[in-house]
Amino acid sequence: MSIKSVSQQFYENVVENSSDAKRLVSLERIKAACDALEKQPKAKAYTVADIGRYCDHQWGGPKAQSIRNAPDVLEKYVKLRAAEFAEGLTETPNAANGKKVLNLADPALAQQQYMLALAEVAQLTKEVARLKVDIGLYAPMTTDQLLAAAKNGGPAESSVEVLPAIPADALNALRSLFNPDRLRGCELSIDQNGYLINDVSGNELLTASEVSSLKSLL
């Protein structure tokens, strides 16, 4: 299973949940504009203004101000796309730990990179929350359940509900969640006590027992 970018997941979520036809048309045009600018020879980092000019020239809109007037959808999508593209242009891995280094020489670019990192952390946090709910569906059979089934005089498998196998997509999501490179890229790590934490804030995302439970499914 390929891992979708933050911007692609955001785009698909808007398309799936929005009923504003005009906004969806604008978003589709903005996506096409981002695609076009990124495919140009010697492509360089772009801004909301660049996307607005391209859309205005190609389709008569949305213009830059219209994009800015929808900060939670249109502007956010452009900034996510721009941050992802700029990161690819200027990515400088730290040789010691593989972390990506903010380009502090360019404040605007550094802000874009930081925004992208926050979005990736939010995406992982949602995935963790979903897995916490799903994990209950695949809890292992306890010894007490097995003994109770045996006392009822029949084979354990005939007396106790057989739980479904974990879907392949869920297993792939778990492997992605605990991929060391992805964790480092999002400023996350599993500390010496087994907790999944945010390296920047120190906030705990998963307890050691929750980490252990999720890893046991792999």
Segment 163-184, tens digit of pLDDT: 556 677 777 777 777 788 878 7
What is d(CA 47, CA 58) in angstroms, rounded to the nearest whole number?
Answer: 17
Per-residue pLDDT, 160:
44
User: In this predicted model, what pLDDT tens digit does every residue of 185-201 receive, in sequence order?
Assistant: 777 888 888 888 887 77
Helix axes 48-59, 21-39, angle to 10 degrees: 110
Q: What is the pTM of this model?
A: 0.47
Per-residue pLDDT, 192:
81
- Domains of the chain: which residue ranges? 6-90, 124-215
Phi, psi (degrees; rounded to nearest 5) at 32: -65, -40
User: In this predicted model, what pLDDT tens digit does every residue of 113-135 receive, in sequence order?
Assistant: 666 667 667 667 767 766 666 65
Q: Which of 56, 7, 65 is nearest to 33 (CA)?
A: 56
What is d(CA 34, CA 2) in angstroms, rounded to the nearest whole number?
Answer: 21
The burial class, CB within 10 Å (0-12 / 13-18 / 19+), for 17 is exposed
